[in-house]
Structure 1
Amino acid sequence: MTNTPRAVLAASFTPGETAVPAAKRFTREVMTAWAAMSVSGDAERLAAELVGAVSGEPFEVVWIHHGESVQIEVREKAEAPGYGPPADAISWGVTFTASLRTRWARIELPGSASDTSDEWVTEAGQGPGWLGFLADASDLLAGTLDPDMVPAIIAQIVVPRLATWCAVYTSAHGSGPLRLAYLWHADETQIDALRDQLDALPLPADDGPAVLHTGDWQSLAFPLTARGRRLGVMCLGRRDRFPDEAMQLAEDIGRRAALAMDNARLYAQQAAANRALQRSLLPPDEPTTPGLDFHVIYEPAGETNEVGGDFYDLFPLGDGVWRFAIGDVCGTGPEAAAVTGLARHTLRLLAREGYGVASVVARLNQAILEEGERARFLTLLHGEITRVADGLDISLVSAGHPEALRLRPSGVVESVVSPQSLLGVFPEAAFYEESVHLDSGDVLLGVTDGVTERRSGTRLLDDDGGLAKLLSECVDLSARAVAERIRRAVQEFAPEPSADDLAILVLRAP
């Protein structure tokens, strides 16, 4: 074991019920970053045992990578009580300063000089420990869909297990000139000098492993190729000669890394396409609405914000007249997106052609039905707003949509529109307008079922008039403040993220 640490990671904690889980989580992150997943279980148990004995004052957990071993130190005030040897530690001890006591324990890494469990024992060069290392590497690479993270993961997998340093080169879009995407060295203080040394490094042009000339280093380059495309190059360096087994492992990791990189790029491209399509289905800009206080919140669900689902619109028809809509298409994906785009553009086109609210909804219903098997049913709240001397006059149609609510300045909340047929189901459906007047200070709230059906266990947010109760607490708030209050209530209703899109539209009469 060398005396100079190769890497140090530390975090501070407060004693209590969350201390042990937090320390174990930190330990797992450290072992992942150091590609020491094979000892992660032992390391987490050590952390739990040492941290579990802490009481009173805040303390610090420090993990130190010595190359052939990792060491945990729990640093606390000197008056803390003593302890016995941790069960999983190879060596352990206690050190003191005037005000600090440090309890430490060390685990040897597989493949170190003092550990024989991972010796190369087969003709293929892969003992049981190294097969586990490859499995852990595969899991780690498969665990990210961020293409910018893959080079960092590659480097931290191979350093220090296979090489002293690793440089990963990639192209900007999977083609074109290569650039240094990530550089990692077992001794972080050497990274800048190594970077300068690698600036003049000529990368191999062929598709096989190649020997590179980088000063005193023994260096190898492995292509990162997936599905017939060269995505980059992984370069490894160490002072001594690379064992044949290490080269075989590096080639294997290179293949797995290339596939992970390709998958991450494809995923990122799909996510970007989804976001672009989603933006195309929403209003391009907020309209100028003199005399009308309004606010809209729209949050698509899911990591990639998959297209489809909820939508909204608000646009002017003339001086003091606007149309608005808030809707929810069944499902997500391209089919739902097609209905979303059809709905928003049809609403705008027909409204500007002079069709009334009920006529627009009826024609949209017919247009969705004409889509045939590609169609999805749609719930919709569509209305026309007219500014008048004593507030706002609104003509409304609610086609299978969650009820629209009006809040009076007195705190009274009431439903203002009757439910009618949802769209895309019944060809014979007829629609009629209902009139609503908003006096000064009145608020009209429209939401999608991402609000009303927000679930916590067996309860929904709108059970027993939950949404109306929330709205009644919003007297004298602006439209923006009302919308934000509703969104916050949705977020806090359950600990887990919402699985449904969310749209909130608030109108307030001046």
Structure 2
Amino acid sequence: MTAWAAAPIGAEAERLTGELVSEVGDVPFEIVWVHQGDSLQIEVRQKSDDEVATAPSSAPVTVWGVSFAGALRTRWARLHLPGGDGGRVVDDWTGQGSSQGPGWLGFLADASDLLAGTLDPDMVPALIAQIVVPRLATWCAVYTADSGLGPLGLSYLWHADESQIDLLREQLDRVVIPSVDNLTPVPVQLGDWQSLAFPLVARGRSLGMMCLGRSGRFPDDVAQLAEDLGRRAALAMDNARLYAQQADANRALQRSLLPPGTPAETPGLDYSVVYEPAGETNEVGGDFYDLFTTGESSWRFAIGDVCGTGPQAAAVTGLARHTIRLLAREGYDVASVVSRLNQAILEEGERARFLTLLHGEITRTDDGLDLSLISAGHPEALRLRPSGVVEAVVTSQSLLGVFPEAEFVADRVHLAPGDVLLGVTDGVTERRSGERLLDDDGGLSKLLAECAELSARAVAERIRRAVQDFAIEPSADDLAILVLRAD
């Protein structure tokens, strides 16, 4: 209704729909609202019967009736749109011959709300055209240029009579559209149409042109209204483009912080990771994971949690992951890597954020996997035996980025074939439902005990699903799960 500039009759249309529905009876039916240029037709469709139709009475209906098509019976009624005059383009917005009145202001307010409702730059041209037609013009073509550079291209075309769109497109292909450098409306010659091209300019940047066409001359007040709408549309387009550019840059930066990939071949090691950053537009948050090869039968892994979420936490995430990879491949042992990462975070000064980390080295042996690992203030790592027994296997040591004098000592853990090691961030253990946390009373250990003899992937998915189902509300914290299983 907003796109049709028909919001003022919304309440009347709803009341009228209610009256039509009240006549249906106890049978399935369908409600359809149809825009017809100068009017709104409300239809209630049902299987045909022989009842006599009565006219609805609660709204100012000018036309009503009943139509039949096969077994389909449709009761319909028609409401004039504000300012409508029998299918012609609207020129009188107030009933007083001036567009500078309540109808004009309401139209612009509805149009502004609709344009502000999207941040998709591809949607804005479509909204512009559908707002303009048929209220200001019979057809509308929106031309845009990327960042104001290069030739204009047709982004969206709309006509009050959809069957005429293809023909109109062919005509427009032969027309030279004025340059975006023009800052005032420019006449465009197109057959019998009276056409005007309005520049789309926002914040001093030319974004394109809005070309309107109608039969006969454009009244001054309608042209002024279109020019005002063009300014609002250009601002909406510029906002959408800026948002899209920022989102693209954000995604590119975030992808650079993700691991380049986990090992394709890991003989003797079955593994799985789950990573879900908080926030709709985030691909990287404060939680992170990594698993990479350091030798023919050895690997390093890490799962960590930076204090906070969003871009600031992601910056420390990138520092931690790159530091761990670089030092591990330079031959530093687990304790040395963690100690040097602690110093690197402290050297960030005011930008530093404390970090919890589970970092380890995996070595394949004849009877499973040997692990050397350190938990720096991180949720405890759990080992699951094929029998279903679950136990914590590491000692919690100092978290990183707080104490420059902290020293770290690696724990030794063996995974026999079938054993599973689970590492998670507090997005799992502190998942909240009311006053309860998922890990209260050993909740995570109990959940892991149910995963005996499952593959690493099945264990990770079981934990992820349990976190999701623990509370109705979406999680506000980042989440990472790392599962290592000895084959």
The question of a shared fold, defined as TM-score above 0.5 by the shorter chain, is answered with yes
State the alpha-carbon separation in 1 of the partners of residues 25 and 218 from structure 2. 48
Aligned to 1:213: 189
Deviation at 1:129, TM superposition (A): 2.0
Aligned to 1:483: 460
2:83 is the counterpart of 1:111: yes
Distance 1:152 1:363, change over 3 A: same
The one of 264, 289, 295 aligned to 1:312: 289
The one of 226, 243, 253 aligned to 2:219: 243
State the alpha-carbon separation in 2 of the partners of residues 456 and 164 from structure 1. 55
State the alpha-carbon separation in 1 of the partners of residues 26 and 428 from structure 2. 43
State the alpha-carbon separation in 2 of the partners of residues 262 and 432 from structure 1. 55
Aligned to 1:168: 142
What code does the residue aligned with 2:38 have? Answer: E
The one of 231, 241, 261 aligned to 1:285: 261
State the alpha-carbon separation in 2 of the partners of residues 222 and 154 from structure 1. 12
Deviation at 1:246, TM superposition (A): 1.5
State the alpha-carbon separation in 2 of the partners of residues 399 and 48 from structure 1. 65
2:358 is the counterpart of 1:381: yes
State how many pairs are aligned: 479
**Superposed, which structure 2 residues align to 1:135-146 within 5 Å?**
135-146=109-120
Deviation at 1:226, TM superposition (A): 1.1
Aligned to 1:13: none
Distance 1:312 1:70, change over 3 A: same
Question: Where do 5+ consecutive residues of structure 1 fail to align?
Answer: 1-30
The one of 202, 207, 210 aligned to 1:226: 202
**8 Å CA contact retained: 1:110, 1:117:** no
Secondary structure of 1:112's counterpart equals coil
Deviation at 1:90, TM superposition (A): 2.6
State the alpha-carbon separation in 2 of the partners of residues 45 and 381 from structure 1. 63
Aligned to 1:425: 402
State the alpha-carbon separation in 1 of the partners of residues 66 and 380 from structure 2. 66
Deviation at 1:459, TM superposition (A): 4.2
- Percentage of matched positions with identical amino acids: 75
State the alpha-carbon separation in 2 of the partners of residues 54 and 489 from structure 1. 46
State the alpha-carbon separation in 1 of the partners of residues 47 and 416 from structure 2. 65
Aligned to 1:328: 305
Deviation at 1:415, TM superposition (A): 2.9
State the alpha-carbon separation in 2 of the partners of residues 484 and 429 from structure 1. 35
2:486 is the counterpart of 1:509: yes
**8 Å CA contact retained: 1:54, 1:80:** no
Distance 1:332 1:171, change over 3 A: farther
Secondary structure of 1:255's counterpart equals helix
Structure showing greater Rg:
2
State the alpha-carbon separation in 1 of the partners of residues 470 and 23 from structure 2. 36
State the alpha-carbon separation in 1 of the partners of residues 148 and 325 from structure 2. 40
CA deviation profile, 1:408-438 (whole Å, cap 9, x unmatched) = 2233333333333222122233322222222
Aligned to 1:28: none
State the alpha-carbon separation in 1 of the partners of residues 185 and 79 from structure 2. 34
State the alpha-carbon separation in 1 of the partners of residues 465 and 472 from structure 2. 12
Distance 1:107 1:425, change over 3 A: farther
Distance 1:84 1:273, change over 3 A: same
**8 Å CA contact retained: 1:120, 1:126:** no
**8 Å CA contact retained: 1:361, 1:431:** yes
CA deviation profile, 1:137-185 (whole Å, cap 9, x unmatched) = 1111111111111111111111111111111111234422211111111
**8 Å CA contact retained: 1:391, 1:437:** yes
State the alpha-carbon separation in 1 of the partners of residues 75 and 440 from structure 2. 53
What code does the residue aligned with 1:196 have? Answer: E
**8 Å CA contact retained: 1:294, 1:505:** yes
Deviation at 1:448, TM superposition (A): 2.2
CA deviation profile, 1:343-377 (whole Å, cap 9, x unmatched) = 01110111122222222112211111111101112
Deviation at 1:78, TM superposition (A): 3.7
CA deviation profile, 1:178-206 (whole Å, cap 9, x unmatched) = 11111111221111111111112211122
CA deviation profile, 1:361-402 (whole Å, cap 9, x unmatched) = 122111111111011121211111111222222222222223
**Superposed, which structure 2 residues align to 1:292-441 within 5 Å?**
292-305=269-282, 307-441=284-418
CA deviation profile, 1:414-472 (whole Å, cap 9, x unmatched) = 33333332221222333222222222222222222333333444444434444334333
Distance 1:140 1:312, change over 3 A: same
Q: TM-score, normalised by structure 1?
A: 0.85
State the alpha-carbon separation in 2 of the partners of residues 386 and 51 from structure 1. 72
Question: Where do 5+ consecutive residues of structure 2 fail to align?
Answer: none
**8 Å CA contact retained: 1:271, 1:305:** no
State the alpha-carbon separation in 2 of the partners of residues 216 and 122 from structure 1. 26
